[in-house]
Structure 1
Amino acid sequence: MDKLTWYRVLAIAILLLLCTLPGVWAAPAPATTDYTTTYTITLQKDGSALWTVEYRTPLATDEDLDNFGNYSSDLDSVYLPQLEDLMQRSAAQAAVGTSRPMEADNFSGNAVVQTSPTGKFGVVTYSFSWTNFSVTDGGLTIGDAFAGGLYLDKDSTLIVRYPQGYTVASADPVPDQQSGDGLIWYGLRSFGSGEPQVVLAGPAFPVLPAGLVIIVVIIAAAGFMIYRKRRPDPGPGDVPEDPDDHASPLSEADRVSLEERIVQLLRANGGEQFQSEIVKVLGMPKSTVSSTLNDLHRRGLIQKIKKGRENLIRLVDGSG
């Protein structure tokens, strides 16, 4: 398959992952190519999920670059509407199968050329939100929306990220890798009906005796009063920063990927979101997210607006 043909089928390549959802036509896998695909499902506490699909291919020649430019110019008018139609039908059919209202919305697409020490790459990213994707029962459970199972092509990766404070009670099949905030499966792989099924336990809060609770409240109140008396009043532009959580430095590739995720998250939320919410959704260390936001701000891609003691992050028009 030449590069031009690959760009034309790229927008519906998500069918490789979702081809067996109820009511969706199952497309055959394309011939082996030199692109990689990463599907990331970021679970939210309210049961919704932010989906991100990233395709990455090397641009070794001028012809590759021209073909990628042609694809990019048609992304919003041709390929993004195709994906939107596919996923809205998929969510509607999953809603029937689970007896749970579902909707896919907030679609966005982005195509950029990245240059790294290993060469030049074309990167296409699609994102959208899926409401009621998870079952909320004190924790989070996913899998029932995949009534027909899933398929991961070679050089494809599925990542399921979960909110901070949640723990994995079970995962079937067992993931190939587990990070601090996510489960990872690599292709080539076929999942069975309702797979992957992941059960997450919600944050646990210990139950304290009533008398002990009163004592704790009194001590905390007294400590707060002492703190307020000793602490100088903040200046008009003073906004407290998060303490350093000693996050490990990111590689260049990870930094670029995190920037893309932040931009797509902002686009999926109308172009703006509070910094604290971005940290919660990404499940990344606060200092890592803060450093990345500072880089985007210095490059003029975002604005940081003070709202009380929080930062409102706003995407600059035309960014991404």
Structure 2
Amino acid sequence: MNVRVGVTAVVIAVLLVAAGPVATVTGAATAGQRQSSPFAVQQDRIDADEVRMDVALRPNGTAEWTLEFWVRLDDEESTTAFESLRDEIRTDPANHTQSFADRMNETVSTASNATGREMSADGFDVTTARQSLAREYGVVRYTFRWDGFAAVEGDELRAGDAIEGLYLDDGTRLLVEWPDGYERTSVTPDPDDERERAVIWRGGETDFVSGEPRVVATAAGTGPSAAAMAIAAVVVGGLAVAGVRWYRTRESTTAQPAGGDDALDSDSDAGTEPTGGSGTASVSATADESADASATGAPDTELLSNEEQVLRLVEERGGRMKQQAVVEELGWTDAKTSKVVSGLREDEKLESFRLGRENVLSLPDADDERTNETSGDGAK
């Protein structure tokens, strides 16, 4: 059994799928064409049961790549094959990284031409390990450095264009991590899982289209980020509301006659009808404000939490609205909105689903209410 060749073939298959344009260079399937099982190999070779692609971004745009192939060691044949491969790699690792490096350099070169950004790859290495989780696995781990993977624009890192349209098969995941000291600005499409400084997409759950995946992260504390600008807007809005209230209070106070009943009589003589004695103007102003509040039927947004503001918006839209509309309505960043929405989903106060390329938010009982209404109409 040629174990080494089998795993190398798997690695090459991953690279061909990960970089569509390379397919044209190598004579394989054309860009965008998908293989039904790109990680499967012949019976006399090892099949990877799980593939993990981890991309760690650096402030200068370099990405540290880790590509892992996990093989279940659930019988004597697979265990023997993996141990044989492990011995070969330990004896001559360079022999195992050469084909990988050749294919990856082609991938990087094509991505460089497509993005117009200078790129290169180096630092190729391969190691093996055994991992015991719920079951025993053998792991073949390739690592390398991809310079120029992400675009650096001021304080922003923009990553993903080098692997646009990447196809994730079942059992495959992609993790993108941004540097310490950076904040997530936007991620497209919505990730299947999130960590403190990383997002994860899994094959079978996410299908990247043109322009995806995309991750934008901004260096924290280096200038007025989008989040800081949003906070400033809220503060300015709060000051404006306070100013209006002060003005109304001042106007209502000024409108009260200083001469008591005589002044009211004078106003009455002048054609102004008194409505109830001294201080009536102030009471009327307060009544007007109460009427305004009653008319809207909604509390001041300053008194609502972030979660309550989102739920209120969705309720006002009939129980459903696009997540991007929440961003626009509240003036928040994509990152802040996503964080609040994720919390509401965990608390089961909100649900979401994909509609095309949009993320739609829905109240848990929205569909039930519509179903009940439809049933009621039918009964009538």
TM superposition score normalised by structure 1: 0.57
Matched residue SS, 1:84: helix
Name the residue aligned to 2:159.
142
- SS of equivalent residue, structure 2 residue 163: coil
1:99-148 alpha-carbon deviations (Å, 9 max, x no partner): 2211010000011223x26332101110100011111111100122125x
Aligned to 2:109: 92
Report 1 or 2 for greater relative contact order, CA contacts < 8 Å, sequence distance ≥ 6: 1
1:111 matches 2:128: yes
Query: Conserved in 1, the CA contact under 8 Å of 2:124 and 2:144?
Result: yes
Amino acid at match of 1:65: T
Contact 1:21–1:146, Cα closer than 8 Å, also in 2: no
Which residue in the other structure is 1:15 paired with? 15
- Provide the residue aligned with 1:157 in structure 2: 173
Alignment correspondent of 2:146: 130
Task: Give the equivalent residue in structure 2 for 1:255.
Answer: none
1:45 maps to which of 52, 59, 65? 59
Instruction: Looking at secondary structure, tell me which structure has more helix per residue.
Output: 2
Return 191-200 or 43-52, whichever deviates more: 191-200
| 1:271-286 equivalence runs, <5 A | none
Q: Deviations over 1:182-232 (max 9, x none)?
A: 01001024322342011112212468xxxxxxxxxxxxxxxxxxxxxxxxx
Deviation of 1:74 (Å)? 4.3
Report the CA distance shift for 1:45/1:18 in structure 2 as closer, same or farther (over 3 A).
same
SS at match of 1:145: helix
1:243-262 superposed matches below 5 A: none
3-state SS of 2:112 partner: helix
Change (3 A) 1:206 1:130: closer
Identify the match of residue 101 of structure 1 among 106, 118, 142.
118
Q: Supply the distance in 2 between the matched residues of 1:88 and 1:74 (Cα, whole angstroms).
A: 24
The 1-side partners of 2:123 and 2:4 are apart by: 28
One-letter identity of the residue aligned with 1:69: E
Equivalents in 2 of 1:8, 1:198: separation in Å?
30
Cα-to-partner distance string for 1:39-64 (whole Å, 9 max, x where unaligned): 00000011100000111112122221
Distance 1:4 1:74 in 2: 8
Q: Which amino acid aligns with 1:79?
A: H
Give the secondary structure class of the aligned counterpart of 2:113. Answer: helix
Call closer, same or farther: CA 1:203–1:177 in 2, change over 3 Å. Answer: same
Corresponding position of 1:171: 187
Cα shift at 1:165: 2.1
Partner residue in 1 for 2:210: 193
- Corresponding residue SS for 1:55: strand
Higher strand share: 1
Q: CA deviation at 1:71?
A: 2.5
Secondary structure in 2 aligned to 1:164?
A: coil
Match of residue 368 from structure 2: none
Contact kept? 1:42, 1:50, Cα under 8 Å: yes
- Rg larger for: 2
Unaligned runs of 5+ in 2: 30-34, 42-46, 225-380
Post-superposition CA distance 1:1-44 (Å, at most 9, x none): x9999546333242365141445545632449661111000000
In structure 1, the partner of 2:70 is 56
Aligned CA distance change for structure 1 residues 184 and 82 (closer, same or farther; 3 Å): same
Contact persistence 2:66–2:143 (CA under 8 A)? yes
- Select 1:80's aligned residue among 97, 117, 134: 97
CA distance in 1, matches of 2:48, 2:10: 12
Take 1:128 and 1:4, find their aligned partners in 2: how far apart are those partners?
Answer: 19
Preserved contact between residue 53 and residue 125 of structure 1 (Cα < 8 Å): yes
CA distance in 1, matches of 2:40, 2:17: 16
| Aligned equivalents of 2:207, 2:214: Cα separation in 1 | 13
Alpha-carbon distance in structure 1 between the residues aligned to 2:82 and 2:105: 27
Deviation for aligned residue 1:173? 1.2
Q: Gaps spanning 5+ residues in structure 1: where?
A: 208-320
Per-residue CA deviations over 1:260-316 (Å, capped at 9, x if unaligned) read xxxxxxxxxxxxxxxxxxxxxxxxxxxxxxxxxxxxxxxxxxxxxxxxxxxxxxxxx
TM-score (norm 2): 0.49
Number of corresponding residues: 204
